[in-house]
Structure 1
Amino acid sequence: MILPLLFLLASLLQQYGSAAESSHVSKFHLPSVKEQNGVQDSHQEKIITVSGEGMVHSPDFPHTYPRNTALAWRLVASSNMRIQLTFDERFGLEDPEDGTCKYDFVEIEDLTEKTILGRWCGSQSVPTSHTSKGSQIRIRFISDEYFPSEPGFCIRYSLLPMSVSEPEVPAVLPPSLQGVEELSEALSGLSTVEEVMKYLEPERWQLDMEELYKPTWHVLGKSFIHNKKAKGGADLNQLREEVRLYSCTPRNFSVSLREELKRTDAIFWPSCLLVKRCGGNCACCSHRCYDCQCVPARVTKKYHEVLLLKHRSGGRGLQKSMTDVPLEHHEECACVCKDDWD
C-alpha cells in the first residue's frame, strides 16, 4: 500500500515541476514587439506610436547626461493628427561654438516636409514649442566625448487634430530656384545670418555656417584694415553744435547695396548698409548766391564685410561667400554755389 502511494506522490511532484518550469519559461520568453508606452526598438531609432501625451528626454534628466551618446526617437501619429512638442523649462546642453551647435545638441526634424525645424544647445534660453506639418517627427540627441552638461533636455509631446478648414499653404519655390528679385525680397526680412542660412539650406545650414567662417587665404579683410573710426573732439560751443544739427554735415543714410554697387546679378545680406553722406541745409551759407548746395568736401572709401549670394551657372544652386564691398563715406561737407559746383 505504501509503495503505490510513493509512486503516486513522485508522479504528482514531477507534473508540478514541469508545469512550474513551463510557466517560468513562458514568462521569460514572451515576445515583446513593443516596450512600454508604445516604444518599439528599430535598432537605428526608437519608434513611438503617439496616442496621447508623453515625453522623451536625455539620459538621466535632469542630471548630467552621459558622453558619447547618439539617440533618435521617431514619433508617429495617425494621419489626421499633428504632433506638438514643448520643451521643459529646465534645459542645458554644452555651449555652442561661434553660434553653432557642433558638439552636444538636440535636433527636431519634420519628416513630412523633410526639413530640420531646429538644432539647440547651450542654456541661454528654452527652445520654443513646435507643431509638425504632418503625422511624423524625429528627435535626435547627440553628445560627444567632452564636457557633458546638466540638466539635459526633456520634450513633452501631445496630439492636435488637423483642421479640415485650414487653408493650404501655397507652394514656394526653393531658394535655389527663386529669381534674384524674389530671393532678395525674402532675405531682406531676416534678422540674423543664422536665419538666412536656415532659409537657404534648412537641412545643412549649420555646415554652411562652418564653411562660411572658415579662415581664408587673407588674415584680415579690407573691412578690418580700412574701416577705422575717425577721431573727433567735442564742440564746446553748444549753440553752434545745435545749429550744425540742421546745417550741412555728414549724416547717416541707409543705402541699398544692389543699387549702390549696380549689381543686379547678386544678392547681399544685409541688403542695406549705413553710410555717412552730406545732408542738411545751407541757410548759413557764406557765399552770396541764389542756390547754395551742400556737397562733400572730403570723401573716403570704407570696406564692409557682407554675405554675397549668386546663382551658379547651370542651375546648380546658390554660391555663398563673405565678401568686402567698398562704399563712399562723406567725412566733411561744405556749402558751395550751385554754379561753382557745376
Structure 2
Amino acid sequence: MHESVAESSHISKIHHASTKEQNGVHESQHEKVLSVTADGIIQSPDFPNTYPRNTVIVWRLVAVTESSRIQLTFDPRFGLEDAEDGICKYDYVEVEEPVGGVVLGRWCGSEMVPGPQVSKGNQILIRFVSDDYFPSDPGFCIRYSLLQQSQSEPEAPAVMPAWMQSVDVLSEAVAGFSTMEEVMKYLEPERWQVDMEDLYKPTWQVVGKSFIHQKKSRGVVDLNLLREEVRLYSCTPRNFSVSLREELKRTDAIFWPSCLLVKRCGGNCACCSHNCYDCQCSTTKVAKKYHEVLMLKHRAGGRGLQKTLTDVPLEHHEECSCVCKNDSD
C-alpha cells in the first residue's frame, strides 16, 4: 500500500525505508511504530491465552508533541515464563528509553505485576521476546496513556551516576551492600538485570582459572557466598574459651570445669571505612548467661573441701561491630 509523503516521511526517516500502515500502526521489518494521540493497549499475541513460541515483537510509541510523556500501566493479569536465578533470560517483556538505549525494566514470571512506567521523552520502546520452550499464560497487556509535561514543573535534582563518583566514595557505598543484586542496582539502576546476566557469560580474554577448573556457571557460582565467607572471618560473635578463675576474679575457689566456652567479639576489621585509622571489633549487644559448675573451696580450719553446685554469670556478646577509634576520638 502506498503512503502519502506527509503520513510516512517522519517515520521512515527514523526507522525503515519499507513500511506499511494499518489501523494507525506503522510496521517495519524491525518494529511497530504507534503514534500516540489517546489511550490504547499493547498486548502479547493471544492475550489472555498462551502466547506463541519463538516470537520477537518491538513496539515504538511516539507521542504527538515533544512535551508529552507516555505512561505505561500493566494489567494485573500477568504471566510469562519464570526467571532463572532471578534473571529473565527466556521469555520477557522489556521497556526501554530509545535515547541512549536505557532499559527501564525487564519482567517475566507471574509473582509480581510490573509497576507503572513513564517515558523521559516523547518516545518509549516495548520489546516482547519468547523462546522455543515453555510458553505461559496469560502473557501481558499494557495500557498506554499521554501525560502532558508542565512547563513550570521543577526538575528533579540530578543524581550523580555511580561511575562519576570517586573511588573512595564508591568503595564505601559498595561495601555497605549485602548482596550482589544490591551492588548491581546501585551501579546500574537502569540495566542491572542485564549486567547480572552478562557477569556470568564467559569472556575468554579475561576469564580466570575458576572457570576452567570449576566449570563456572550461573547455577554454581554465587558471589554472594563470597561475602558470607568474608563475614565468617570478620568481626562477629564467636566461641572463646575462658578461665573461670580469671573471668570471675576468684582466687579462693576451684571450678570444674575450669574453662567454659562463651561468645565474644572477634575477627578482623580490615573492611572498615577507608578514613579510619584505628578500627576495633567491639560488642554492641551483651547478655549475661548463667552456667552451672562445681565449685570447690577449702573449709575453714583446713577440714577438707566444701563442694557445691553453683551458677556463675558470664558475659556473652550477641552482636558485634567494627568501631572506628581514631586518635582524635
Shorter-chain TM-score: what band? 0.5 to 0.7
Q: Cα distance 1:171–1:186, how it changes in 2: closer, same or farther (>3 A)?
A: farther
1:199-252 superposed Cα distances (whole Å, 9 cap, x missing partner): 323565334323545775558877569959999xxxxxxxxxxxxxxxx96479
Does 1:206 find its partner at 2:196? no
The one-character-per-residue Cα deviations of 1:145-193 (angstroms, maximum 9, x if unpaired) are: 0000001011110001101122223333332221135435665787864
Distance (whole Å) between structure 2 residues aligned to residue 85 and residue 252 of structure 1: 51
Deviation at 1:114, TM superposition (A): 3.6
What is aligned with 1:173?
160
1:264 Cα deviation after fit: 3.1
Which one of the candidate residues 125, 142, 145 is aligned to 1:158?
145
Matched, 1:126 2:113: yes
Task: Judge conservation of contact 2:97–2:104 (CA < 8 Å) in 1.
Answer: yes
Using structure 2 for the length normalisation, give the TM-score: 0.58
Per the TM alignment, residue 328 of structure 1 is displaced from its structure 2 partner at its CA by: 10
Q: Which residue does the alignment assign to 1:41?
A: 27
Query: Match for residue 67 of structure 1?
Result: 53
Secondary structure at the residue paired with 2:129? strand
Unpaired stretches in structure 1, ≥5 consecutive residues:
1-28, 232-247, 266-274, 285-292, 297-326, 330-342
- Tell me the equivalent position of 1:109: 96
The amino acid across from 2:69 in the alignment is R
In structure 1, how many angstroms separate the alpha carbons of the residues matched to 2:103 and 2:59?
14
2: CA distance, partners of 1:142 / 1:65: 10
- Name the CA shift for 1:262/1:89 in 2 (closer, same or farther; >3 Å): closer
Contact 1:112/1:133 (8 A) holds in 2: no
More helix by share: 1
Q: Partners in 2 of 1:56 and 1:92 — Cα distance? A: 15
- Output the TM-score relative to the length of structure 1: 0.56
Say how many residue pairs are matched. 236
Q: Which amino acid aligns with 1:145?
A: D
**1:280 — aligned with what?**
286
Give distance in 2, aligned partners of 1:67 and 1:155: 20
Aligned position for 1:196: 183
Structure 2 unaligned segments of length 5 or more: list them.
9-19, 202-209, 215-219, 240-260, 276-280, 291-313, 323-329
Contact 1:115 1:202 survives alignment (8 Å): no
Range that drifts further, 216-225 or 205-214: 216-225
User: For 1:291-328, what per-residue CA distance to the aligned partner results, in whole angstroms no more than 9, with x for missing partners?
Assistant: xx9698xxxxxxxxxxxxxxxxxxxxxxxxxxxxxx99
Change (3 A) 1:102 1:76: same
Task: For 1:73 and 1:261, locate their aligned partners in 2 and report how far apart those are by CA, in whole Å.
Answer: 47
Does residue 261 in structure 1 map to residue 261 in structure 2? no
Counterpart of 1:16 in structure 2 is: none
C-alpha separation in 2, matches of 1:133 and 1:204: 16
Contact 1:249 1:280 in 2 (8 A): no
- Could you say what secondary structure the match of 1:199 adopts? helix
- 1:144 is the counterpart of 2:131: yes
CA distance in 2, matches of 1:175, 1:225: 24
Pairwise CA distance, 1:134: 1.3
